[in-house]
Amino acid sequence: MNSFLEACRAAIGAAHVITAPSDMAAYLTDWRKRFTGNAAAIVKPGSTEEVAAIVRLCNTYRVPIVPQGGNTGLVLGSVPDESGQAIVLSLTRMHGVRAIDSVNNTITVDAGCILENIQNAAAEAARLFPLSLAAEGSCTIGGNLSTNAGGTAVLRYGNTRELCLGLEVVTPQGEIWDGLRGLRKDNTGYDLRDLYIGAEGTLGIITAAVLKLFPQPKAELTALAALPSPDHALRLLTLAQTHCGASLTGFELMSDFCLQLVNKHYPQLRQPFQESHPQYVLLELSDSESEQHATAMLESLIEAALEQEIIVDAVLAASIAQSKALWQMREHISLAQADEGKNVKHDISIPIARIGEFIQVTDVLLQDAFPACRMVTFGHLGDGNLHYNVSPPENSSDIAFIAQQEAVNRVVHDSVHRFGGSISAEHGLGALKRDEVLRYKSDVEMNLMRTIKRALDPANLMNPGKVV
């Protein structure tokens, strides 16, 4: 290992090969601080060529590689195991914006570029990069691509996969594939881009990407609606799509308990309704015509929803500050959960039409199995993605409850499977769900995935122990 590390230092500079335990610590623990692995070193290349050089050295010395961006993942996909045999290959030094093409509406960026910086670079060019999620101030686009991240604007713009036109990738053999083409149409064989997106670094290392940009909307409006049930939220979604079409950008479901937690731990975030209601939907419209047009469209939607008794109340943001305040409530749900104590998280997707039935059925199953457990249910209703989290009963030991995590997962994941859903909607599999997914995917599907892995990474050096 010493000769390998010396070769790495010669390739990218000694300052970028970190071996001191105190300096390595932040790279070895996952974002939720549930697991800490070990590594031979943290290696931080500064260019695609340096990434390729490190990968070639890893091939020569048979050293496994764990690619890492902002390390904000939730499924242990970007941290090493406890063996200490692997290196963590951090891409944070590769954070540049390479080019913006305002005619082609594209931006080309390094994989270590922070998502918020891409948003800001697009805005400076009078364009919009619509990917938005809670960790956007620290997550990197390479990680977003590797997990095919979703976020709050999937309803209109799609997952990260839909926002990417081309990739640059270092293969497991240390070769560089330059697929940085900003083409909307390229039907010249297998779509390698889509193969690497969502692969969680198990097939190669994404080093750069060409991403789609969009015109800046003329108006963005936000409203919060109160509803009796998730089924009413689905009716509101259908109505909103009819009234607003492509202008409907965000449609977020939040249970009353979610807002109770936010109010408890962040009382400075003022609750918009005097009375509590079982469910809430946060809507966002992005209009390319005018603010007046968007306002009329949103007001018409709310009026129709009230008349049809789909919603019982609504608040329309009258300013950017009010809009941000409404979104802050949604974005603070995860933080409030963490402040409340440990909980069992689920990132699932369900066929949209069956979400209400799923919540009703699965809530009962969980109450039967774990009496008085508390449900923290929220998510991107417009694309069927729920964060269906289970908190322990009030005033009980969260440590004792977490000890039952496997049993909780079984109830939820089995129900997800019965409803034709997925146990991972936007977080990936990583190491956390790698074995769990075997219960729900067919042998044919898993064998196809393993065949691809063996073909591209026969030495199993790319993020071993993750996904497959």
pLDDT along the chain (468 residues), means of 10: 96 97 96 92 98 98 97 94 97 98 97 98 97 93 96 91 98 98 93 96 98 94 96 97 93 96 94 93 93 93 97 93 92 92 94 96 98 95 93 91 95 98 94 95 97 97 97
Say what the pLDDT of residue 320 is: 85
Q: For residues 182 and 213, give the distance between their C-alpha atoms in angstroms, rounded to a whole number.
A: 11
> Coil, strand or helix: which one is 198?
coil
Q: Find out whether 77 and 424 touch, Cβ atoms under 8 Å.
A: no
Domain boundaries along the sequence of the chain: 2-90, 97-215, 219-334, 341-427
Report CA torsion sign: 310, 153, 346, 390: negative
Q: For residues 369 and 188, give the distance between their C-alpha atoms in angstroms, rounded to a whole number.
A: 53
Distances (CA, A) of 235 to 126, 228, 250: 35, 11, 15
The pTM of this model reads: 0.92
Say what the pLDDT of residue 257 is: 96
- Where does 97-215 sit in CATH, by number? 3.30.465.10
Residues 420-449, buried b or exposed e (16+ Cβ, 10 A)? ebbbbbbbbbbbbbbeebeeeeeeeeeeeb
Say what the pLDDT of residue 365 is: 98
- Where does 219-334 sit in CATH, by number? 3.30.70.2190
Fold match between domain 219-334 and domain 341-427: yes
> Residue 301, CB half-sphere, CA atoms under 13 Å: how many?
30
Q: For residues 259 and 348, give the distance between their C-alpha atoms in angstroms, rounded to a whole number.
A: 21
To 10 degrees, the CA torsion angle through 435, 438, 443, 446?
A: -60
Which residues does residue 97 pair with via DSSP β-bridges, in sequence order? 109
Q: Architecture of 2-90 per CATH?
A: 2-Layer Sandwich (3.30)
Say what the pLDDT of residue 357 is: 97
Topology given in CATH for the domain delimited by 341-427: Alpha-Beta Plaits (3.30.70)
| DSSP track, 368-410 | HHSTT-EEEEEEEGGGTEEEEEEEPPTTS-HHHHHTTHHHHHH
Say what the pLDDT of residue 151 is: 87
Which residues does residue 221 pair with via DSSP β-bridges, in sequence order? 285
